[in-house]
């Protein structure tokens, strides 16, 4: 309908000018609001992959197509919902990016949000949950940031890539996730960055939010949000922003934080090696509610004495490891090990005050709704 109105107005203008008349001001032109500006930043991944055949779902080269082509393939449909621009940040698998690259990506997203109403970032799905949580913790604007990707490359039959990108742009243009922080949009599902995790190596419904559940869904023209991240309670206040402003953190290498996995009769070697190699922090993926083998427990005690800070998580994928104020060990509640690592890394970059870091894990890391007083 918008295209027909535009064409009718242009035709009317040409006819009246040709007839020596002054063209009237079209009411439709006066009423039509400008489309929201959405910047799409490409980092590569399967969504930009090229397959060897139209049915080689697993045999493809990721990061081959520029993000501009992906968006152009969706025109004119996206032009009806948003004024879309593109930026090529990189074009490789998600696991190939470093923390230094993450830092630059935050700067790119922040810069894009100064000129746009929302940003979509395309990434590979392997470490998408880490991309998302990093941006959730570091982007300063409360405008929508949407991550998307795909489990199948752009060029195969039945690919999920175009639908995911279109829906991500649709969600971004709606601006319904303002103050939600970063969210993921794949398989018609909207997931919060803090809770989303990849749970299947191959299936298209790989992302879930564990016990918390998805935020909502997109059903064609309908965007339905059933819940929100707890940080929306602080929308419009200074408290909405996290303490991790990368512009104020010294331009030096960020702290080294590693992950040690516990299992039956696990030895102390991993923790000892991380501590001896200069790790500032270690996240333990423990059994059950964060348990470690006796050898790992002793190695952790020794590392704490030498100034290494630990965050305790569970390897189970659900449930929580609550903080009990053990010196040098912070309970990360229900954060996955990989997300606890990012929070610990940024915390150590911002301060060496263990009590402050503990409070950030209890608030930013836990992110529970608080009753209004």
Does residue 46 carry a catalytic annotation? yes
101 three-state secondary structure: helix
* Of 43, 46, 123, 125, catalytic: 46
C-alpha span between 264 and 251 (Å, rounded): 41
For tokens 């690919």, the residue is 159
Long-range CB pairs of 293-297 (<8 Å, 24+ gap) are 293/262, 293/263, 293/264, 293/265, 293/266, 293/267, 295/265, 295/266, 295/267, 295/268, 296/260, 296/262, 296/266, 296/267, 296/268, 296/270, 296/271
What are the Cα distances from residue 1, in Å, to 35, 41, 262? 15, 29, 60
182 three-state secondary structure: strand
Q: Which residues contact 37 (CB under 8 A, 6 or more apart)?
A: 82, 83, 85, 115, 116, 117, 118
What are the Cα distances from residue 365, in Å, to 29, 51, 133, 182, 222? 48, 39, 11, 14, 31
Cβ atoms within 10 Å of 178's Cβ, excluding its own: 15
Joined together, the tokens standing for residue 91 give 């074009």
- Annotated catalytic residues are 46
């Amino acid at each position: 309908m918008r295209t027909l109105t535009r064409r009718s107005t242009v035709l009317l203008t040409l006819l009246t000018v040709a007839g020596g008349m002054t063209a009237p001001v079209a009411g439709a032109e006066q009423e039509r609001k400008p489309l929201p500006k959405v910047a799409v930043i490409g980092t590569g991944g399967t969504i930009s992959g090229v397959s060897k055949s139209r049915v080689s779902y697993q045999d493809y080269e990721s990061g081959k197509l520029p993000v501009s082509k992906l968006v152009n393939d969706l025109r004119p449909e996206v032009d009806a919902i948003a004024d879309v621009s593109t930026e090529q940040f990189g074009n490789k698998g998600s696991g190939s990016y470093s923390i230094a690259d993450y830092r630059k990506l935050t700067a790119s997203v922040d810069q894009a949000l100064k000129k746009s109403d929302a940003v979509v970032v395309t990434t590979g799905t392997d470490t998408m949950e880490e991309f998302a949580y990093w941006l959730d913790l570091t982007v300063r604007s409360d405008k929508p940031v949407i991550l998307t990707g795909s489990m199948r490359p752009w060029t195969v039959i039945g690919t999920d890539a175009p639908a995911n990108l279109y829906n991500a742009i649709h969600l971004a243009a709606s601006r319904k996730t303002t103050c939600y922080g970063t969210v993921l949009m794949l398989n018609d599902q909207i997931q919060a960055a803090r809770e989303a995790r990849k749970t299947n190596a191959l299936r298209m419904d790989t992302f879930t939010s564990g016990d918390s559940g998805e935020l909502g869904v997109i059903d064609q023209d309908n965007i339905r949000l059933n819940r929100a991240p707890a940080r929306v309670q602080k929308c419009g206040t200074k408290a909405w922003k996290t303490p991790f402003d990368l512009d104020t953190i010294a331009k030096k290498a960020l702290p080294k934080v590693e992950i040690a996995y516990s299992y039956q009769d696990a030895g102390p070697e991993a923790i000892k090696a991380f501590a001896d190699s200069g790790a500032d922090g270690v996240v333990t993926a423990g059994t059950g509610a964060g348990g470690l083998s006796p050898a790992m427990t002793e190695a952790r005690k020794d590392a704490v004495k030498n100034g290494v800070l630990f965050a305790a998580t569970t390897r189970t994928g659900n449930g929580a490891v609550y903080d009990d104020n053990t010196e040098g060990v912070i309970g990360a509640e229900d954060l996955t090990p990989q997300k606890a690592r990012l929070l610990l890394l940024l915390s150590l970059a911002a301060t060496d005050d263990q009590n402050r870091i503990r409070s950030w894990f209890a608030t930013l890391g836990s992110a529970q709704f608080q009753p209004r007083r």
